[in-house]
């Protein structure tokens, strides 16, 4: 059996939880039976009608009558309950132990919606947006793909435990109310189970995240990468490289993260952890252009950073090296 208070796996004949000390269903059933016997002894005998628990639903399903926690878990999980019971069974701490789940690995966000874990779903979308804001504002250059893979792997190994903790919490909330067996199981099925509406909610949140990032965060805070090469044709940098000689002409291209317009190009060199401006020049770019190409003669040997500035904000930058 499972402790409804802390989720500890207990022997079938356990009277108290070995972890938190809470009474199990066995003790609760004994207490309820004792109360019913005392009530019958206090009432005058009435032999006019004989009732059985089958005929008396108020006794068979009286408020507070404990149910088997394993049955409660199966009703709450609903679809694929046997799969999760196998994953949780025999573990000392199902809410902490690691077990692999392919669905949580490949369908992390959509699985959360499918299993009605809406709070966690909203939290993750919020965390993604916060990471993007920090990354763009501090120019950290984080790899979102790597972060996404790491997050999916975390769901893969910890999804079952996370769902177990969510289930125990929700069952505990329902058990606070004096519901009969039928009402309790209906409440468990409604609160748990699966939801395709939750899947569509997850899809909507992912789309909303992409819209916010693409049309608001990146245009206002993002930077594009400057492309360097030895020539340009049809607006495309050819012979792309970031290493040049002092005699070379350096061709470069940049794109606007938002709308186009006139910009200032700043060439900096980094010496002793300090950036020093070597040269700067303006570029007149039509407002409806998505990007621009330009060229300049290579400076003396060293390492350089090229920044494109628009309205006082760096919108594109790149690094190159000049050798002798």
pLDDT score, position 45 = 45
pLDDT in tens, 17-68: 777 767 777 766 666 666 655 555 554 544 333 323 333 333 234 344 446 8
SS3 assignment for 72-83? HHHHHHCCCHHH
d(CA 321, CA 23): 72
Beta strands in 132-255 (DSSP E): 224-225, 227-233, 236-240, 243-245, 249-255
Q: Where are the domains of the chain?
A: 67-221, 224-323
Which pLDDT score is estimated for 21? Answer: 64
In contact, 322 and 300? CB cutoff 8 Å: yes
The answer to whether 231 and 238 have CB atoms below 8 angstroms apart is yes
* pLDDT at residue 34, as a whole number: 65
Collect contacts of 270-273 with beta carbons under 8 A, ≥24 apart: 270/303, 270/304, 270/305, 271/302
Q: What is the DSSP letter of 234?
A: T
Question: What is the β-pairing status of strands 263-271 and 302-310?
Answer: antiparallel
Give the confidence band of 102 by pLDDT, cuts at 50, 70, 90: very high
pLDDT confidence band for 144 (50 / 70 / 90): confident
Cβ 20 vs Cβ 5: under 8 Å: yes
Give the rounded percent of residues in the chain with a pLDDT score beyond 70. Answer: 85
| Burial of residue 254 (number of CB atoms within 10 Å: 0-12, 13-18, 19+) | buried
Residue 128 confidence (pLDDT) above 70:
yes
Instruction: Tell me the mean pLDDT in the region 97-101.
Output: 94
pLDDT-derived band of residue 92, with 50, 70 and 90 as boundaries? confident
Give the model's pLDDT for residue 204: 97
Identify the pLDDT of residue 3: 73
Q: Could you tell me which of 161, 128, 162, 130 has the C-alpha nearest to residue 147? A: 128
Cα 92 from Cα 18, distance rounded (Å): 11
Chain centroid, CA 18 distance in Å: 34
The strand ranges marked E within the chain are 224-225, 227-233, 236-240, 243-245, 249-255, 263-271, 274-283, 291-297, 302-310, 313-323
Q: Which residues of 187-203 are buried (b: 16+ CB within 10 A; e: fewer)?
A: bbeeebbbeeebbebbe
- pLDDT for residue 35: 62
- Tell me which architecture the domain covering 224-323 has in CATH: Sandwich (2.60)
- Summarize pLDDT for 186-226 with one digit per residue, the tens: 999 999 999 999 999 999 999 999 999 999 999 999 999 99
Please say whether the dihedral angle defined by the alpha carbons of residues 173, 176, 177 and 182, taken in this order, is positive or negative: positive
- As a whole number of angstroms, the distance between CA 308 and CA 237 comes to 17
Please write the tens of the pLDDT for every residue from 257-313. Answer: 988 999 999 999 977 677 899 999 999 999 999 999 999 999 999 999 999 999 999
Reported pTM: 0.72
Q: What is the mean pLDDT of the chain?
A: 86
In sequence order, which residues have a C-beta less than 8 Å from that of residue 123 and are 6 or more positions away? none
Query: Which residues are paired to 314 by β-bridges?
Result: 309
The pair of structure tokens assigned to 144 is 């979102």
CA distance 93 to 7: 7
Taking the C-alpha atoms of residue 196 and residue 111, their distance in angstroms, rounded to an integer, is 10
The closest alpha carbon to 32, from 1, 51, 8, 59, belongs to: 59
Token code pair at residue 277: 């401006």
């Amino acid at each position: 059996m499972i402790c409804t208070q802390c989720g500890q796996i207990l022997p079938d004949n356990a009277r108290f939880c070995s972890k938190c000390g809470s009474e199990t269903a066995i003790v609760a059933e004994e207490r309820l039976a004792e109360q019913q016997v005392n009530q019958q002894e206090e009432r005058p005998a009435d032999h006019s009608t004989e009732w059985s628990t089958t005929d008396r639903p108020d006794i068979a399903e009286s408020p507070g009558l404990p149910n088997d926690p394993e049955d409660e878990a199966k009703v709450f999980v609903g679809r694929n309950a046997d799969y999760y019971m196998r994953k949780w069974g025999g573990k000392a701490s199902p809410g902490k132990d690691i077990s692999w789940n392919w669905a949580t690995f490949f369908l992390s966000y959509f699985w959360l919606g499918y299993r009605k874990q809406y709070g966690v779903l909203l939290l993750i979308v919020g965390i993604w947006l916060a990471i993007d804001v920090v990354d763009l504002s501090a120019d950290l250059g984080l790899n979102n793909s790597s972060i996404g893979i790491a997050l999916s792997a975390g769901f893969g190994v910890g999804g079952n435990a996370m769902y177990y903790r969510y289930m125990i919490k929700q069952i505990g909330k329902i058990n606070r109310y004096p519901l009969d067996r039928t009402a309790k199981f209906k409440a468990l099925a409604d609160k748990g189970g699966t939801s395709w509406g939750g899947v569509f909610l997850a899809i909507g949140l992912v789309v909303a995240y992409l819209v916010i990032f693409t049309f608001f965060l990146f245009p206002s805070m993002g930077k594009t990468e400057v492309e360097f090469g030895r020539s340009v044709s049809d607006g495309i940098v050819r012979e792309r490289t970031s290493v040049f000689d002092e005699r070379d002409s350096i061709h470069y291209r940049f794109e606007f993260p938002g709308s186009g317009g006139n910009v200032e190009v700043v060439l900096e060199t980094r010496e002793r952890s300090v950036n020093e401006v070597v040269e700067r020049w303006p570029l007149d770019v039509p407002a409806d252009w998505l990007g621009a190409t330009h060229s300049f003669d290579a400076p003396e040997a060293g390492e350089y950073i090229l920044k494109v500035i628009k309205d006082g904000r760096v919108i594109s930058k790149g690094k190159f090296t000049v050798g002798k």
